């Protein structure tokens, strides 16, 4: 009997303790702070490709390989470093004419390269060189900043400050103050600007455009940051 009473007392004590914990939940104010920085890019990555068609897979692949070697040689002459040149993908596929009973008419081979240009003043020169070497596909240009980490840190600091100022304003409007930071959560962001010149053909000449000045405009990158912050409410 005593053991039953003791168990009941323990259960009641636990329930009371849980109730007190619920009552002791902290009073907080949660806000979201955002910030944006406009940054002038200082480098770019070009996605370019070589496509060739032939009646046989062997000749289609050989055509792509030959042109790719010429492109790599042209990039070497421009002192583009090996680390800034990467083969993105390579594929070979048959072209089928369904009107002729699934007959293979020819083969298409394509190789794609990714080239990072660390001096934007040379961007037109690089594109002119690869097109002259035989590139007939340019998938796009991604403008970048070599100092992106520093700009991200600045944007994050500004976002955190914006969250604090918003929390202070909300608390003051209701006759309260904020105390220490209770929690912080960063919201993932994406940066970058893509300029597309897709579909540029091999026989396109850039000499005329270059004589009139740059044919590309980097504009500005937008570096964003967003944080969700909770503060103790006093």
Interior angle at CA 196, CA 85 and CA 198, nearest 5? 80
Structural domain includes residue 36: no
Question: What total of structural domains would you count in the chain?
Answer: 1
Mean pLDDT of 103-125: 92
Q: In what order do the strands lie in the sheet with 221-233?
A: 28-39, 221-233, 178-187
- Give the residue among 136, 142, 141 at the shortest CA–CA distance from 199: 136
For 71-92, the pLDDT digits (tens) are: 999 999 999 999 999 998 888 9
Q: Per-residue confidence at 176, pLDDT binned at 50, 70, 90?
A: very high
The count of residues in the chain is 234
Residues of the chain above pLDDT 90, percent: 65
Mean pLDDT of 111-123: 95
pLDDT at site 191: 56
Structural domain includes residue 111: yes
Answer whether residue 12 shows pLDDT above 90. Answer: no
pLDDT at site 25: 75
* C-alpha to C-alpha distance for 121 and 114, rounded to whole angstroms: 18
CA 147 to chain centre: 15
Answer whether residue 58 shows pLDDT above 90. Answer: yes
pLDDT at site 104: 80
* C-alpha to C-alpha distance for 229 and 156, rounded to whole angstroms: 12
Which alpha helices (DSSP H) does 78-227 contain, by range? 123-132, 148-173, 207-211
Structural domain includes residue 213: yes
Token pair 């044919």 is at which residue?
Answer: 215
Mean pLDDT of 176-195: 80
Structural domain includes residue 51: yes
CATH number at residue 132: 3.30.70.2970
Residue bearing the bigger pLDDT, 4 or 187 = 187
Give the domain range for residue 201: 42-146+190-219
User: Within 13 A of 211's CA, how many CA atoms are on the CB side?
Assistant: 4
Structural domain includes residue 1: no
Burial 207-218 (b: 16+ CB within 10 A, else e): eeeeeeeeebeb
For 196-233, the pLDDT digits (tens) are: 443 333 333 334 444 456 778 888 999 999 999 999 99
Is-above-0.75 flag for pTM?
Answer: no
Residue bearing the bigger pLDDT, 9 or 133 = 133
């Amino acid at each position: 009997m005593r053991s039953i009473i003791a168990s009941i007392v323990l259960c009641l004590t636990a329930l009371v303790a849980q109730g007190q914990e619920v009552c002791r939940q902290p009073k907080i104010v949660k806000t979201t702070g955002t910030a944006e920085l406009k940054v002038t890019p200082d480098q770019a990555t070009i996605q370019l490709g070589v496509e060739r068609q032939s009646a046989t897979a062997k000749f289609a692949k050989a055509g792509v390989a030959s042109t790719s070697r010429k492109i790599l040689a042209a990039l070497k002459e421009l002192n583009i470093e090996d680390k800034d040149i990467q083969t993105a993908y390579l594929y070979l596929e048959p072209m089928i004419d369904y009107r002729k009973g699934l007959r293979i008419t020819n083969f298409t081979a394509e190789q794609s390269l990714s080239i990072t240009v660390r001096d934007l003043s040379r961007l037109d020169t690089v594109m002119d060189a690869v097109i002259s070497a035989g590139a007939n596909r340019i998938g796009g240009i991604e403008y970048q900043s070599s100092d992106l980490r520093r700009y991200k840190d600045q944007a994050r600091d500004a976002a955190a400050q914006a969250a604090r100022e918003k929390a202070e304003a909300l608390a003051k409007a209701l006759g309260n103050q904020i105390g220490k930071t209770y929690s912080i959560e960063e919201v993932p962001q994406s940066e970058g600007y893509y300029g597309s010149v897709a579909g540029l053909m091999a026989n396109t000449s850039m000499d005329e455009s270059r004589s009139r000045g740059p044919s590309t405009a980097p504009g500005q990158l937008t570096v964003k940051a967003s944080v969700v912050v909770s503060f103790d409410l006093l």
